[in-house]
Amino acid sequence: MLPSSEEYEISVEQLSELRDDPEAPSFRLIDCREDDEFSFCKIDGAELRPLSNFAEQATNFLLTDEETPMVVYCHHGMRSMQATLFLRNKGKKNVWSLAGGIDQWSEKIDESVPRY
């Protein structure tokens, strides 16, 4: 299940369970790293929305999708928390930052994802 809207982070274990659960609600997985990082490695199914132009994209793309929950990730979780806070401040409540980012995902969930 997704965390409550009172929480700001989701663990890699929670995300893995969510992805594996056919009964889980649909959600969008947003990668807020930059193009070169995304080309090096990514979590399957992620959409690239770099933090460097996140506000512009959020206005045109992310904020128009009010209903679908989102999980945002980056390398270690700092940029994704910034993106999460930005979206929360714009009124989107169902958005969470992936704690530890893709680095923790690679270490604990999917070792085939390269670390850097």
32 included as an active-site residue: no
Closest CA to 33 of 104, 101, 109: 101
Q: Which of 30, 58, 70, 74 is catalytic?
A: 74
The DSSP bridge pattern shows strands 28-31 and 47-48 to be parallel
Task: For Cα atoms 27, 29, 34, give the angle at the middle one, nearest 5 degrees.
Answer: 160
- Which residues lie across from 73 on neighbouring strands? 31
- Cite the active site residues: 74
